[in-house]
Chains A and B, each alone.
Chain A
Amino acid sequence: MAEETPWQQALRYTNRANPYPFYAELRKTPVARQPDGTYVVSTYREIVTLLHDPRVSSDVRKLPSRAAAAVEPGAEPITEAVIELEPNIITCDPPEHDHDRRMMTRHFFGPADAPHQISDLEPDIRRIVAGLLDGMRGKTRIDVVDEYAYPLPVTLICKVLGVPLEDEPRFHAWIETALDALDFGPEAASEEMRSRLAGARRSVKELAQFMAGLLGQYAERPGPGMLSAMVHDGGPDGRMSEGVLASNAVLLLFAGHETTVNLIAHSVLTLLRHPEALEELRRRPDLIVPAVEELLRFESSVQFWHTRSAVEDIDIAGTTIPAGAPIFLVYGSANRDPQRFADPDRLDLERPDNQHLGFSQGIHFCFGAPLARLEVQVAVEEFVRRVENPRLVADPPPYRHNQIFRGPRHVLVDIDGIRD
């Protein structure tokens, strides 16, 4: 068997806690062809270039060579499961993309002349965060993931969308099952991963059905939140078809919290690993805004994205990506690219010119970024302010299996108490 490429090594579960040495190796070939025909792009400049190149498609239906190429077994079926959903904005191209995203924007952020809905959530965010911290009183050990990082974003996205919070255990299980089965690395071929796939496909279907059911209910009886509003009012751009709406709703529900959880958890973890930075933030709470940008650069919640492909031959960095080839953009590596960020492995809460790619760039720039930023800023600021003498119990903590949405499964922290 051929030696594993740096990319394949980076994807191994054993390297989940620290893929960065492999990324450094990977960046020596900015656009690296993998044995399965995928082109992995790891450098900042090349990623930005491709994000603005109209010959790159995000539409999974335009991956002609995917089936034909000698795809690593296992890498494919989950993508197919996604294909079974109608396209949503992350898996389609203009003009559909721009049109659908515009419709969603109005309902998510509010009217174009005063899109206040997200900034209006700040008091809610503060209240939820305060409640979670109050709940830790009297404890000496907490799990930052289960008790802090997860409940906040999931509560908020449910509220914004109008998904009943009571359904959280069900959709949480479906999403977990799907995420745990998604693997792009050498381990995808293992018995273990193969056996997870069937369950994952079932979960994606159930999630889609759940969403369709909810939309159906809202069609009969309007309710709170964005989804009901979208079912009833198409606005100037018309109404979204049921299937497309359901698919985008699944995307929002899932992207709306899985990423944010990881950023909050990673932020706490990173700060506990950098006591000087933690102390600095405690002394100067106003640093929270640049700090969250740096934390996202440092540990990117979406390590790479996998649905792009070349529609035409593309010459880049001395390589030609042939038409039809899948393209992976490794944001987590670009954000540590020394050609772009001075001393990239150093955490610098006041890093100047911190134009990271944590939320990507171009037309697929993260839809929920303003909400995510607000949540994480408040969550990290309050954690730093209120938690007394937090100490990491295990370093590195255990990680979740998923490679794209990379984050710790648990972050156990010993604490001395909760300040007011």
Chain B
Amino acid sequence: MTLAATLAELVSDFRANGRIVIVGASLAGLRGAEALREEGFSGSLTIIGDEPYEPYDRPPLSKQVLKGWVPAEHTLLPRFREVDAQWRLGVAATGLDRVARQVRLADGEQVPYHRLLIATGTRARPWPNPAEAALEGVFALRSRDDAARLQRALAARPSRVLVIGGGFIGSEVASVCRELDIPVTLTERGPAPLVGALGGVIGEIAAQMQRDHGVDLRCGVSVASLEGDAAGHVRRARLSDGTTVEVDVVLAALGSIRNVEWLQGSGLAAGPWGVGCDAGGRAFDINGVVTDSVYVAGDVARMPHVLYEYQFLAMEHWDNAVFGAEVAAHNMVNLEPHYRPHLSLPGFWSGQFGVNIKSVGVPPFGDEIVFTQGSVKDRSFAAAYGRRGRIVAAVTFDHGKWLEYYARLIEQSAPFPPPPPGWDRPDVMEPVPAEFPAPGVPTAIPDVVLTGHDPNERRAEFRPRGH
């Protein structure tokens, strides 16, 4: 038999008799499972998820669910085909043994696999002081249960809500509070909301939008402590500028932590940055060598993108989970040269204060921004981000119909600033610095050290900080 025939047989045998395990039963996990079946995989498929629910959609949680329109349990994701899988819901994976090819579950069971898809996503970064975090009325928002709890708290019409953190989720929650006519204070350590994702120029527009809608916005301050009453309910927040805010609901919207703890000791390139993988979703081991049996998709993945100088990017957006899972699934049941890359442009949306904010590309990759269409005053505009004379991202406020024009320019690495539109030109069309904060030094990343002297024996190893 020729080598090609042998390989083809291998692939078809795997598709018929292989054993695939997916850890993480949410958007990426579900779409990955469907894609595997779509690709013709008919072997055994197990989906492990620590939440007790079948896969549901998270974006509605901070929008229509909090508003009280849609119950949190009404967010179940539609299914596009049968997946015929063993669902192990309500049980966490606690370990991965890549030598024995087994996933260890919290109930002690070992689940064997030939190929593994890691789709464990992220969780909300909790308020760092555990005693304060445990106060009644202090919330985080990631899961459907979180949303149901916070929704109930808002429905009880608190006297004031404090949102800590002006990222997308924090801003959306502040928006819902205003729609419900609940007083809300939002604190943001940076100079404006959304600066991390969209830079200071857009952040300033977002800040004005929040203020116009009655948000008590405090930028450049952080929350020093939360204080409760005798019954253990949060009542007050002390800010770094010495002021206090009386509140009875607090949302800590501090960003996310990637769910990688269960991979400790697995020898994968997994850490606070996520799980490193190639653009085909194949995980790297700790040495940066690509594995053949472990794949990653969704919020937990970090992969290089050709349009962004091959930098490793974690794209914690909905469409990245969908496309990434489809690509990983395809590659799990194929061999070279049939691998497919996950090359779609990142994109996201956020509805807040009655405005649809959308973006394509990677805004923080740019260092300049130029308004290209519409009116900042009316909060209805398009703007492009540039770096070294080419366009790398775009953002629109209520101008979503034009976004695909910019997506095409980004895909073509078109010059920045882009050509002016034929009409509806903004008042100012000069590029200005986009004002992204300097990348902060993450505090929890352990050092990676090399061991061994013989070049054949050199290996990487994690060494936690403080040693």
A–B direct touch in complex (beta carbons closer than 8 A) = yes
Chain A residues within CB distance 8 Å of chain B: 48-49, 52-57, 59, 62, 93-95, 98, 310-312, 362-363
**CB-CB < 8 A to B108: which residues of A?**
none
Bound: A311/B380 CA distance, A: 22
**CB-CB < 8 A to A363: which residues of B?**
401
Q: Closest CB-CB distance, B144 to chain A, in whole Å?
A: 26
* B402 partner, pick from A52, A95, A311, beta carbons under 8 A: A52
Bound: A310/B405 CA distance, A: 15
Q: Does B423 contact A (CB under 8 A)?
A: yes
A-B contact pairs, 14 of them (CB 8 A): A49-B405, A49-B408, A52-B404, A52-B405, A54-B373, A55-B421, A56-B422, A57-B423, A93-B422, A93-B423, A95-B374, A311-B422, A362-B401, A363-B401
B interface residues, how many (CB within 8 angstroms)? 17
Bound: A53/B380 CA distance, A: 17
**CB-CB < 8 A to A49: which residues of B?**
405, 408
Please, which residue of chain A has its CB at the minimum distance from the CB of B408? A49
Taking A95-B374, A95-B375, A98-B380 as contacts, is the C-beta distance between A54 and B401 under 8 angstroms? no
Taking A94-B374, A95-B375 as contacts, is the C-beta distance between A54 and B423 under 8 angstroms? yes
Bound: A54/B423 CA distance, A: 7
Q: A93 contacts B424, CB within 8 Å?
A: yes
Bound: A94/B373 CA distance, A: 9
**CB-CB < 8 A to A57: which residues of B?**
422-423
Q: Closest CB-CB distance, B247 to chain A, in whole Å?
A: 30
Bound: A49/B422 CA distance, A: 15
Most A CB contacts (10 A, CB to CB) among B372, B374, B405, B420 go to B405
Q: Does B419 contact A (CB under 8 A)?
A: yes
Bound: A251/B276 CA distance, A: 57
Q: B422 contacts A312, CB within 8 Å?
A: yes
B contact patch SS: mixed
Q: A53 contacts B405, CB within 8 Å?
A: yes
Most A CB contacts (10 A, CB to CB) among B380, B405, B419, B423 go to B423
Please, which residue of chain A has its CB at the minimum distance from the CB of B398? A98
Chain B residues within CB distance 8 Å of chain A: 372-375, 380, 382, 401-402, 404-405, 408, 419-424
**CB-CB < 8 A to B423: which residues of A?**
54, 57, 59, 93-94, 311
Q: Closest CB-CB distance, A313 to chain B, in whole Å?
A: 9
**CB-CB < 8 A to A311: which residues of B?**
421-423
**CB-CB < 8 A to B420: which residues of A?**
312
Q: Closest CB-CB distance, A56 to chain B, in whole Å?
A: 7
Please, which residue of chain A has its CB at the minimum distance from the CB of B375? A95
Q: Closest CB-CB distance, A35 to chain B, in whole Å?
A: 25
Q: Closest CB-CB distance, B353 to chain A, in whole Å?
A: 15
Bound: A48/B402 CA distance, A: 11
**CB-CB < 8 A to B404: which residues of A?**
48, 52
* B424 partner, pick from A56, A94, A362, beta carbons under 8 A: A94
Please, which residue of chain B has its CB at the minimum distance from the CB of A54? B421
**CB-CB < 8 A to B419: which residues of A?**
55, 312
Q: Closest CB-CB distance, B384 to chain A, in whole Å?
A: 11
**CB-CB < 8 A to B380: which residues of A?**
98
Please, which residue of chain B has its CB at the minimum distance from the CB of A311? B422
Not counting A52-B402, A54-B382, a sample of 12 additional A-B residue pairs whose C-beta atoms are within 8 angstroms of each other reads A48-B404, A49-B405, A49-B408, A52-B405, A54-B405, A54-B422, A55-B419, A56-B422, A57-B422, A59-B423, A310-B422, A363-B401
Bound: A54/B421 CA distance, A: 5
Please, which residue of chain B has its CB at the minimum distance from the CB of A50? B405
Most B CB contacts (10 A, CB to CB) among A59, A94, A311 go to A94
* A52 partner, pick from B372, B401, B424, beta carbons under 8 A: B401
**CB-CB < 8 A to B373: which residues of A?**
54, 94
**CB-CB < 8 A to A56: which residues of B?**
422
Please, which residue of chain A has its CB at the minimum distance from the CB of B403? A52
Please, which residue of chain A has its CB at the minimum distance from the CB of B372? A54
**CB-CB < 8 A to A53: which residues of B?**
405
Bound: A98/B382 CA distance, A: 14
**CB-CB < 8 A to B374: which residues of A?**
94-95
In the complex, the 4 A-B pairs of residues with the closest C-beta atoms, listed nearest first: A311-B422, A54-B421, A93-B423, A94-B424
Q: Closest CB-CB distance, A116 to chain B, in whole Å?
A: 17
Bound: A94/B399 CA distance, A: 11
Bound: A49/B407 CA distance, A: 11
Bound: A49/B372 CA distance, A: 17
Bound: A95/B377 CA distance, A: 13
**CB-CB < 8 A to B408: which residues of A?**
49
Please, which residue of chain A has its CB at the minimum distance from the CB of B423? A93
Please, which residue of chain B has its CB at the minimum distance from the CB of A51? B401
Bound: A310/B422 CA distance, A: 8
Q: Closest CB-CB distance, B182 to chain A, in whole Å?
A: 19
Q: Closest CB-CB distance, A59 to chain B, in whole Å?
A: 7
* A95 partner, pick from B405, B422, B424, beta carbons under 8 A: B424
Please, which residue of chain B has its CB at the minimum distance from the CB of A364? B401
Q: Closest CB-CB distance, A109 to chain B, in whole Å?
A: 18
Bound: A48/B401 CA distance, A: 11
**CB-CB < 8 A to A94: which residues of B?**
373-374, 423-424
Bound: A95/B379 CA distance, A: 13
**CB-CB < 8 A to B405: which residues of A?**
49, 52-54
Q: B402 contacts A54, CB within 8 Å?
A: yes
Please, which residue of chain B has its CB at the minimum distance from the CB of A92? B423
**CB-CB < 8 A to A52: which residues of B?**
401-402, 404-405
Bound: A62/B408 CA distance, A: 26
Bound: A57/B424 CA distance, A: 11
Q: Closest CB-CB distance, B70 to chain A, in whole Å?
A: 16
* A55 partner, pick from B375, B382, B422, beta carbons under 8 A: B422
Q: Closest CB-CB distance, B453 to chain A, in whole Å?
A: 57
**CB-CB < 8 A to B422: which residues of A?**
54-57, 62, 93, 310-312
Bound: A93/B373 CA distance, A: 12
Please, which residue of chain A has its CB at the minimum distance from the CB of B404? A52
Please, which residue of chain B has its CB at the minimum distance from the CB of A314? B419
Q: Closest CB-CB distance, B225 to chain A, in whole Å?
A: 41
Bound: A224/B408 CA distance, A: 46
**CB-CB < 8 A to A55: which residues of B?**
419, 421-422
Q: Closest CB-CB distance, B358 to chain A, in whole Å?
A: 13
Bound: A48/B408 CA distance, A: 12
Please, which residue of chain A has its CB at the minimum distance from the CB of B420? A312
Bound: A21/B250 CA distance, A: 66
Please, which residue of chain A has its CB at the minimum distance from the CB of B378? A95
Please, which residue of chain B has its CB at the minimum distance from the CB of A310? B422
Q: Closest CB-CB distance, A244 to chain B, in whole Å?
A: 17
Please, which residue of chain B has its CB at the minimum distance from the CB of A98? B380
Q: Closest CB-CB distance, A399 to chain B, in whole Å?
A: 34
Bound: A53/B414 CA distance, A: 14
Bound: A94/B401 CA distance, A: 12
Bound: A212/B420 CA distance, A: 38
Please, which residue of chain B has its CB at the minimum distance from the CB of A323? B422
Bound: A94/B422 CA distance, A: 10
Q: Closest CB-CB distance, A315 to chain B, in whole Å?
A: 10
Most A CB contacts (10 A, CB to CB) among B372, B405, B422 go to B422
Q: Closest CB-CB distance, A329 to chain B, in whole Å?
A: 15
Q: Closest CB-CB distance, B396 to chain A, in whole Å?
A: 11
Please, which residue of chain B has its CB at the minimum distance from the CB of A95? B424
Bound: A362/B404 CA distance, A: 10
Q: Closest CB-CB distance, B10 to chain A, in whole Å?
A: 32
**CB-CB < 8 A to A98: which residues of B?**
380
Bound: A311/B419 CA distance, A: 11
**CB-CB < 8 A to A62: which residues of B?**
422
Bound: A208/B141 CA distance, A: 57
Please, which residue of chain B has its CB at the minimum distance from the CB of A362? B401
Q: Closest CB-CB distance, B69 to chain A, in whole Å?
A: 11
Q: Closest CB-CB distance, B63 to chain A, in whole Å?
A: 16
Most B CB contacts (10 A, CB to CB) among A54, A56, A59, A94 go to A54
Q: Closest CB-CB distance, B35 to chain A, in whole Å?
A: 17
Q: Closest CB-CB distance, A367 to chain B, in whole Å?
A: 14
Q: Closest CB-CB distance, B399 to chain A, in whole Å?
A: 9
